[in-house]
Amino acid sequence: MAIMKIDVYSKTMNRTVTLEVIAPVEALKPGDTMAALYLLHGVQGSFINWSTVVHAFRLLGVNNATRTKKLAIVMVSGDNSFYHNAPDRSANYEQFLAEELPLLTRAMLPLSAAREDTYIAGLSMGGYGALRTGLLYPQVFGFAGGLSSALLTQRIEDAVDENVFFRRREFLKTVFSCELDGIEKTEHDVMELSHRLLTRIEAQRRGEEPIIMPKLYLACGEQDALLPLSRELHAEWDKLGIEHRYEEHEGNHEWAFWEWGLGQILKYLSE
Amino acid sequence: MAIMKIDVYSKTMNRTVTLEVIAPVEALKPGDTMAALYLLHGVQGSFINWSTVVHAFRLLGVNNATRTKKLAIVMVSGDNSFYHNAPDRSANYEQFLAEELPLLTRAMLPLSAAREDTYIAGLSMGGYGALRTGLLYPQVFGFAGGLSSALLTQRIEDAVDENVFFRRREFLKTVFSCELDGIEKTEHDVMELSHRLLTRIEAQRRGEEPIIMPKLYLACGEQDALLPLSRELHAEWDKLGIEHRYEEHEGNHEWAFWEWGLGQILKYLSE
Amino acid sequence: MAIMKIDVYSKTMNRTVTLEVIAPVEALKPGDTMAALYLLHGVQGSFINWSTVVHAFRLLGVNNATRTKKLAIVMVSGDNSFYHNAPDRSANYEQFLAEELPLLTRAMLPLSAAREDTYIAGLSMGGYGALRTGLLYPQVFGFAGGLSSALLTQRIEDAVDENVFFRRREFLKTVFSCELDGIEKTEHDVMELSHRLLTRIEAQRRGEEPIIMPKLYLACGEQDALLPLSRELHAEWDKLGIEHRYEEHEGNHEWAFWEWGLGQILKYLSE
Amino acid sequence: MAIMKIDVYSKTMNRTVTLEVIAPVEALKPGDTMAALYLLHGVQGSFINWSTVVHAFRLLGVNNATRTKKLAIVMVSGDNSFYHNAPDRSANYEQFLAEELPLLTRAMLPLSAAREDTYIAGLSMGGYGALRTGLLYPQVFGFAGGLSSALLTQRIEDAVDENVFFRRREFLKTVFSCELDGIEKTEHDVMELSHRLLTRIEAQRRGEEPIIMPKLYLACGEQDALLPLSRELHAEWDKLGIEHRYEEHEGNHEWAFWEWGLGQILKYLSE
């Protein structure tokens, strides 16, 4: 297993960014490609969280041993952007994740370009970002997974708290680039996006663009204050008949839960 | 000479940031402290610019050999912030540079806490940031240096260009957190800050707080389109009687010039 | 918690080496020092093992929270040297660990220079190296801990296996810089070193140099083939009346055991 | 231009090693491959020398701009091995460079597998290592270049100096795994290897294996004490009719010369 730290210029971010990659390169034969899992951290974090605090390296090793197709993990920093574009600052995280990063990493590393081999997942803010990005770009991602997802846009007024920096009204308005009262029916909301994508998929059955739903994974800790939001989304997906795997498990909004969760995602991807 | 890459949580940035440090640690005896030079990169860059593209490592080695007090270089990433606070995003670069970074690096490394041993310098956007931060926090920094400084706020309307991402009106308004028409008389402008600091210093002569002007260094390439802005500031400083060193030298807005410039700064600091 | 990667020249190794450091620098106040735990990896490993495969970062965070004195972890690469000097190659790992590394890291970082704040531990080859170095340099190290320690020198002929690169007779002779038949009564053997140090300590009671035994910790997995060697040493220490903590625990020669073991060491050090 | 730091397990070194790679990945299109230049440092150095002290990053950028085929630079650490196998320590640098590293880096990165796109060069000890490895493995490397090459084996008795660690007789015997008196007619000597390869190439003209001479580059500083050794090799190559480029240039055994030399090599490779 190789661990790589890469500084490279990003056109959508308009600056040099750092990526971290963990990949079973020693096991590759000439011409082999790997599937890719892009992992998004939470508020206050950075790309280092997955390799230092969660067992990404060890979990990936164990799971690669049993896979038919090798898997690489790519970790990026999303600052506290909720993985939305910040057009006023020319730092476009959504575009970076969906448009630039897959191409850039495939130019560097032997990664499969197939949708079925391209996965995105995250924790907390990154869980929201992964589900949103996966549903917005189903032609790119074959899987989207959220752990303890900060699905704040489902009930945005409940999220506002002037004592927590990332819950301040001003912060949320800036991050989502809009007033908060309209947010629930925009593409900033995972529930709304699920509806829209379903509609697009149904439309295409009558002869239009070939889009399919990504595989979806949702999990949350039983002691996590964000649990109601995951339950809501799970219920909505059930109601809409959107296939997904849903798990609740012992744990709070904490590293031990995310380690368990990453393990579950890796197992699911190797099924 | 040691080269260090450090990931650490920043309270003012509300996330984990990466620092790079170059320091002559092998030459230290127990109890020794080093002076610190904080270096700020330009638009589209990151902390890696100084060690990979400019000869920071080699230049520092040569200059440490002749210094009586050892010097460390600390490099940070300012994204494309112009090193201003972004309160709407809770990413406060100005506070980070002036309040948190010196304390944080002194907690990690054997750095002198004295103002006379604390320096800040940068190139282009970082030149602006270094001069502005140095003049805003003269109690922290004993030296501020700007290379090819992007002193855009001196004539902000000339800077606007909708075809260059960091010159778009929207971008500039966001970065400086204000409308552009009032900017020239605010603390966002180095010239205005020079006036204000001079006034504070004169005021204190009549018995108030003990503030002194940082040593100032300004240089620009003879072929650089930003040269008029440096000349303006140089002339203003002369007019105000603010002591500083000013140099023009063969070169454009380019790495070769910045390498020369960093060499000049290191020489000046070791005088 | 900061994570640092440091490239620095080593005089005893005669080349640039890489160190990794994890330290709770955000929690330090001016003038504070930290205790230091030096961690040694096993055969085929490198300094990255502790931060990527074992939970050093997370374990350290948890344990620092409850400590009165902050603790930093320093990780180095010992190649496959068993942490012995290789004078023929001018790569002197023992000297590096015992003489240069503590001074070098104290010149860089705010580490306590006190013996009671200086610890060494390792896994497998590194367990052997840590116990040996701790017992050879009791004036430097106040604690030495071995996990699944490769105490091969206790019964060196049993260790020889021409099919395993680090058990080949030629390899062992080179690494220990001696013929194998005399090794059991040399300072290459932890058991022999324990006797010698005890003798020195007893001698000094009659008025000589002030040496004390480091605190000793020994643990091994119940399914580990190396278990008999740890049991032998434990029994010998008991017989000699050398105080130490000994633990056996579910597990083989594997990462899960070492993670448990590092957790135990950190708990012990914070008692 | 991306800069990558990679920790990966090496089978020939029997441990985790660190590689550094600089590559113009942003300029690649799907399916593109790059040529690869493997760079070897000198005594007391490490892989970091090329990116921190010599301008590898900037020089590569400039030279890639004018190339038809993109070029990546790969940097490794050879400790003080002279890039020879150390079979007694199971650390086989020669095999690593010639057999494992090209395959490993091609599995990770989009590198051409063609001999004409695979280059090796170095400075001082690394210049010797690059020329030796290139001539020993002409089926792998299409180019070998030496800067200030430590061609000590050409007159090994002159090299012995008990006051310089890497010139001690014991050290040299260990590194070259043989007594010194026979070394000049072995494959440890670049001159001898040139003869042997020429003989193999001539032999094959009569219908045997298709081997060709790598392109050869040799340069040394006019003030460098090692200059006579480069002159000797240059003269010998001329005598044998082995095509090569030879340059002498202002400079001592120093970074400024190596920077010039790397620039010359990059220019030559882009011709």
SS3 track for B8-57? EEECCCCEEEEEEEEECHHHCCCCCCEEEEEEECCCCCCCHHHHHCCCHH
Confidence at residue C31, expressed as pLDDT on a 0 to 100 scale: 84
CB contact under 8 A, A52 and C51: yes
User: What residues have CB less than 8 Å from A263, skipping those under 6 apart?
Assistant: A55, A59, A63
Residues in chain A with CB shorter than 8 Å from the CB of B17 are 46
Backbone angles phi, psi at A52, to 5 degrees: -95, -35
Q: What is the mean pLDDT of residues C243-259?
A: 96
Residues in chain D with CB shorter than 8 Å from the CB of C171 are 88-90
**What are the pLDDT digits (tens) for D45-80?**
999 888 887 788 888 887 887 788 999 999 999 999
**What are the pLDDT digits (tens) for A202-224?**
888 666 668 899 999 999 999 99
Tally Cβ neighbours within 10 Å of residue D210.
7
Confidence at residue D205, expressed as pLDDT on a 0 to 100 scale: 64
CA gap B123, D119 in Å, rounded? 36
Maximum Cα–Cα distance for chain A, whole Å?
55
- For the cut 80, the answer to whether the pLDDT of residue A146 exceeds it is yes
User: What residues have CB less than 8 Å from D36, skipping those under 6 apart?
Assistant: D71, D72, D73, D74, D102, D105, D106, D111, D112, D117, D118, D119
Residues in chain C with CB shorter than 8 Å from the CB of A58 are 52-53, 255
Inter-axis angle of helices D190-205 and D227-240, nearest 10: 20
Tally Cβ neighbours within 10 Å of residue C162.
10
User: What residues have CB less than 8 Å from A199, skipping those under 6 apart?
Assistant: none
Q: Which two tokens stand for residue D225?
A: 């004490």
Confidence at residue C56, expressed as pLDDT on a 0 to 100 scale: 82
Write out the residues of chain A at the interface with chain D, using a CB-CB cutoff of 8 A. 1-9, 11, 23, 25-26, 28-30, 32, 103-104, 106-110, 113
CA gap B121, B39 in Å, rounded? 5
Q: Are the beta carbons of D76 and D101 closer than 8 angstroms?
A: yes
CA gap D265, D26 in Å, rounded? 23
pLDDT band at B209 (very low <50, low <70, confident <90, very high): low
DSSP states along D3-24: EEEEEEEETTTTEEEEEEEEE-
Residue type, position B69, single letter = K
Burial class (CB in 10 A: 0-12, 13-18, 19+), C62: middle
Confidence at residue A206, expressed as pLDDT on a 0 to 100 scale: 67
Residues in chain B with CB shorter than 8 Å from the CB of A80 are 14-15, 89-91
- For the cut 90, the answer to whether the pLDDT of residue B40 exceeds it is yes
Backbone angles phi, psi at B180, to 5 degrees: -75, -25
CB contact under 8 A, A7 and D3: yes
Cα D140 vs. chain centroid, distance in angstroms?
Answer: 12
- For the cut 70, the answer to whether the pLDDT of residue A78 exceeds it is yes
Closest partner residue to B25 (CB to CB) among C2, C3, C108 is C108
The minimum CA-CA distance between A248 and chain B, rounded to whole Å, is 28
Q: Minimal Cα distance from D55: which residue of B?
A: B53
The minimum CA-CA distance between D58 and chain B, rounded to whole Å, is 5
CB contact under 8 A, C4 and B2: no
- For the cut 80, the answer to whether the pLDDT of residue B66 exceeds it is no
Residues in chain A with CB shorter than 8 Å from the CB of B7 are 46, 48
Sign of CA dihedral A171, A175, A179, A184: negative
CA gap D59, C248 in Å, rounded? 56
Q: What is the mean pLDDT of residues D163-167?
A: 94
Parallel, antiparallel, or unpaired: how do β-strands B15-23 and B71-76 relate?
A: antiparallel
Q: Which two tokens stand for residue B100?
A: 């948190």
Residue type, position C59, single letter = L
Q: Are the beta carbons of D23 and A108 closer than 8 angstroms?
A: yes
Residues in chain D with CB shorter than 8 Å from the CB of B3 are 48, 52
Parallel, antiparallel, or unpaired: how do β-strands B245-249 and A85-86 relate?
A: unpaired
Give A204 or C270, the one with higher predicted confidence. Answer: C270
The minimum CA-CA distance between A55 and chain C, rounded to whole Å, is 7
**What are the pLDDT digits (tens) for C131-155?**
999 999 999 999 999 999 999 999 9
Q: Minimal Cα distance from B55: which residue of D?
A: D53
Angle at CA of residue A96, ends A90 and A97, nearest 5°:
145
Closest partner residue to A4 (CB to CB) among D4, D103, D104 is D4
Closest partner residue to B166 (CB to CB) among A45, A90, A168 is A90
* Average pLDDT value for chain B: 93
Q: Minimal Cα distance from A58: which residue of C?
A: C53
Tally Cβ neighbours within 10 Å of residue A189.
23
- For the cut 80, the answer to whether the pLDDT of residue A170 exceeds it is yes
CA gap C177, C180 in Å, rounded? 9
Confidence at residue D94, expressed as pLDDT on a 0 to 100 scale: 97
* Of A64-68, A253-257, B260-264, C122-126, the least confident: A64-68
Q: Which two tokens stand for residue D182?
A: 């026979």
Give A148 or C87, the one with higher predicted confidence. Answer: A148
Residues in chain B with CB shorter than 8 Å from the CB of A171 are 88-90
Q: Which two tokens stand for residue C169?
A: 């007779």
CB contact under 8 A, C52 and A48: no
CA gap D113, D104 in Å, rounded? 11
**What are the pLDDT digits (tens) for B117-171?**
999 999 999 999 999 999 999 999 999 999 999 999 999 999 999 999 999 999 9
* Of A78-82, B76-80, D159-163, D176-180, the least confident: D176-180
Residues in chain C with CB shorter than 8 Å from the CB of B51 are none
CA gap B255, B221 in Å, rounded? 11
CB contact under 8 A, C3 and A57: no
The minimum CA-CA distance between B29 and chain C, rounded to whole Å, is 7
Q: Are the beta carbons of A38 and B70 closer than 8 angstroms?
A: no
CB contact under 8 A, B15 and A79: yes
CA gap C146, C133 in Å, rounded? 11
CA gap B210, B218 in Å, rounded? 25
Q: Which chains touch B (3 or more CB pairs under 8 A)?
A: A, C, D
**What are the pLDDT digits (tens) for C192-214?**
999 999 998 888 866 666 889 99
Q: Minimal Cα distance from C26: which residue of B?
A: B104
**Complex ipTM, two decimals?**
0.93
On the CB side of B212, how many CA atoms lie within 13 Å of its CA?
A: 9
CB contact under 8 A, A48 and C3: yes
How many Cβ contacts (< 8 angstroms) between chains B and D?
21
CA gap A40, A50 in Å, rounded? 9
Helices then strands (H, E): number in chain C? Answer: 10, 10
Cα B116 vs. chain centroid, distance in angstroms?
Answer: 15
Closest partner residue to B18 (CB to CB) among A18, A45, A86 is A18
Q: Are the beta carbons of B266 and B71 closer than 8 angstroms?
A: yes
pLDDT band at A56 (very low <50, low <70, confident <90, very high): confident
Q: Which two tokens stand for residue D2?
A: 């991306």
Residue (of D32, D56, D19) closest to D112 by Cα position: D32
CB contact under 8 A, C52 and A3: yes
Residue (of C65, C74, C62, C68) closest to C20 by Cα position: C74
% of chain B beyond a pLDDT of 90 = 79
Backbone angles phi, psi at D161, to 5 degrees: -155, 110
- For the cut 80, the answer to whether the pLDDT of residue C255 exceeds it is yes
Mutate to test the interface with B, among D26, D55, D259 (most CBs of B within 10 A): D55
**What are the pLDDT digits (tens) for C23-34?**
999 888 878 999
User: What residues have CB less than 8 Å from C151, skipping those under 6 apart?
Assistant: C127, C128, C131, C190, C191, C226, C229, C230, C232, C233
Closest partner residue to A8 (CB to CB) among D9, D26, D103 is D26
Residues in chain D with CB shorter than 8 Å from the CB of A6 are 2-5
Residues in chain B with CB shorter than 8 Å from the CB of A164 are none
Parallel, antiparallel, or unpaired: how do β-strands D71-76 and D35-40 relate?
A: parallel
Confidence at residue B206, expressed as pLDDT on a 0 to 100 scale: 67
Q: What is the mean pLDDT of residues A14-37?
A: 92
Residues in chain C with CB shorter than 8 Å from the CB of A55 are 53, 55
Burial class (CB in 10 A: 0-12, 13-18, 19+), A100: middle
Closest partner residue to C58 (CB to CB) among A3, A58, A255 is A255
Residue D200 falls in which region: left (phi positive, over 0), alpha (psi -120 to 50) or beta: alpha
Closest partner residue to D58 (CB to CB) among B48, B53, B57 is B53
Residues in chain C with CB shorter than 8 Å from the CB of D9 are 44
Closest partner residue to A2 (CB to CB) among D8, D25, D32 is D8
Backbone angles phi, psi at A169, to 5 degrees: -55, -45
Q: Which chains touch C (3 or more CB pairs under 8 A)?
A: A, B, D
Closest partner residue to C25 (CB to CB) among B3, B5, B107 is B107
CB contact under 8 A, C3 and B1: no
Q: Minimal Cα distance from D58: which residue of B?
A: B53
Confidence at residue A177, expressed as pLDDT on a 0 to 100 scale: 87
Residues in chain B with CB shorter than 8 Å from the CB of D51 are 51-52
DSSP states along D200-251: HHHHHHTTS----PPEEEEEEETT-TTHHHHHHHHHHHHHHT---EEEEES-
Q: Are the beta carbons of B143 and B152 closer than 8 angstroms?
A: no
CB contact under 8 A, D165 and C14: yes
CB contact under 8 A, B15 and A165: no
Q: What is the mean pLDDT of residues D123-146?
A: 97
Confidence at residue A209, expressed as pLDDT on a 0 to 100 scale: 64
Residue (of D107, D161, D101) closest to D130 by Cα position: D101
CA gap B229, C102 in Å, rounded? 50
What are the angstrom distances between the C-alpha of A226 and each of A40, A78, A241, B246, C173?
18, 20, 23, 57, 60
Residues in chain B with CB shorter than 8 Å from the CB of C32 are 107
Q: Are the beta carbons of D267 and D63 closer than 8 angstroms?
A: yes
Sign of CA dihedral B76, B79, B85, B88: negative
Residues in chain B with CB shorter than 8 Å from the CB of C104 are 25-26
pLDDT band at D206 (very low <50, low <70, confident <90, very high): low
The minimum CA-CA distance between B100 and chain C, rounded to whole Å, is 10
Residue A236 falls in which region: left (phi positive, over 0), alpha (psi -120 to 50) or beta: alpha
Q: What is the mean pLDDT of residues A134-163?
A: 96
pLDDT band at D241 (very low <50, low <70, confident <90, very high): very high
On the CB side of C35, how many CA atoms lie within 13 Å of its CA?
A: 21
CB contact under 8 A, B80 and A86: no
